[in-house]
């Protein structure tokens, strides 16, 4: 019985950890365009370099559209994101911001990888 209650607590903690808090919008963050995204989900990996890419988030319709990058990447000078749509032929659209400034526009189907610097600006991201 103790094992079951421990497993239940672990599952509840996992569910809580998966819940997304409102984006603070300090440093790197992403705004998904739910209206323009046809994909059921978008899996995003993030890193300071291509070699450092690691799974970050799988966004689904109905999830919060504004999400902060992980704390360890939030103030990085450069950022690399790789996004993959599911299904692969479905479109996805999101913008990457550093603070209040739009930096990179992702508008794709299948997969896309972009390297960006916090000093760049993207006029399509408002």
Domains parsed from the chain with CATH numbers: 21-117 (2.60.60)
Is the pLDDT at 120 greater than 60, yes or no?
Answer: yes
The string of DSSP letters for 35-100 reads TT--SSEEEEEEESSSTT-EEEEEEETTS-SEEEPPTTTTT-SEEEEEEEEESTTSEEEEEEEETT
Average pLDDT over residues 88-108: 98
Mean pLDDT (the chain, rounded): 88
Question: Residue 20: is its pLDDT beyond 70?
Answer: no
Q: Considering Cα of 19, then 115, then 111, then 51, what sign does the dihedral take?
A: negative
State yes or no: pLDDT of 92 exceeds 60.
yes
Res 43 pLDDT > 90: yes
Q: Kind of pairing, strands 41-47 and 66-68?
A: unpaired
At residue 126, the pLDDT reads: 86
Q: Which of 27, 70, 78, 74 is nearest to 49 (CA)?
A: 78
* pLDDT for residue 14 is more than 90: no
The pLDDT score that the predictor gives to residue 13 is 33
Digit-coded pLDDT (tens) for 59-73: 999 999 999 999 999
| pLDDT(124) > 70 | yes
Average pLDDT over residues 86-109: 98
pLDDT at 77: 97
């Amino acid at each position: 019985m103790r094992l079951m209650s421990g497993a239940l607590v672990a599952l509840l903690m996992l569910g809580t950890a998966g819940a997304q808090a409102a984006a603070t919008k300090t440093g790197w963050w992403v705004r998904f365009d739910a209206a323009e995204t046809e994909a059921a989900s978008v899996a995003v990996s993030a890193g300071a370099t291509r070699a450092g890419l690691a799974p970050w988030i799988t966004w689904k319709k109905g999830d919060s559209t504004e999400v902060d990058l992980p704390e360890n990447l939030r103030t990085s000078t450069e950022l690399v994101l790789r996004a993959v749509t599911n299904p692969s032929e479905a479109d996805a659209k999101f913008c990457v911001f550093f603070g209040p400034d739009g930096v990179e526009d992702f508008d794709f189907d299948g997969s896309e990888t972009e390297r960006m610097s916090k000093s760049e600006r993207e006029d399509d991201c408002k």
